[in-house]
Amino acid sequence: MSPRAIAAAAVVFSAVIAMPLPAQDTTAGRPTAVMISGPDVGRRAPAFRLPWANKEGAGPADQPYDLALDRGKTVVLAFFPRDFTNGCTAEMKTFAEQYDSLFGPEVVVVGISTDSLATHTRFAASLDLPFRLLSDPRQEVARRYASHDRSGYMRRTVYVVGPDGRVRYRNIRFNALDPTHYAELGAAVRRSRGG
């Protein structure tokens, strides 16, 4: 290879190396990693309070949903990207249609996304959802549950919190179109309920 060709290749190579990668913080100039964490199975579920809505409307501003108040019950936390999108509609519709077989009457189910309470109300009414939808617009709770995404929307994750406040099941890559994920979730809920 000629010296001129080597020099040209070096310029191209250094230009490619200098391009910021998606996982880099370009303001600091140092690479950063996106960590997927959140509470592992057996660990205490982080407490939180969030405003909520259901098919009838927004809940009272002075009475947000509080995970700590559901201690003693099995709770399903379903983080999802957005109301009215295909995957989220499929997931929430499946939850509603299979509510009795997946969860049962003693289980508390909440969906959590960045959507507003008004949008949640319309979404819950359109699907006749029998559970509340919580609004986490700044993804503060989502960060603690490995559900935060830099896109501005949440990642689709599902947690089952047992009556003792500990995580009994988590799926940080829940697939809204995969029947085995619903079967695994239903089995985890039954185990948490002692059945």
Give catalytic residues, as residue numbers. Answer: 88
d(CA 140, CA 182): 26
Write the DSSP symbol of residue 46: P
Q: Is the Cα torsion angle 29, 31, 34, 40 positive or negative in sign?
A: negative
Q: Residue 136: phi, psi to the nearest 5?
A: -130, 70
CA distances, 169 to each of 58, 79, 86, 137, 142 (Å): 29, 14, 25, 25, 16
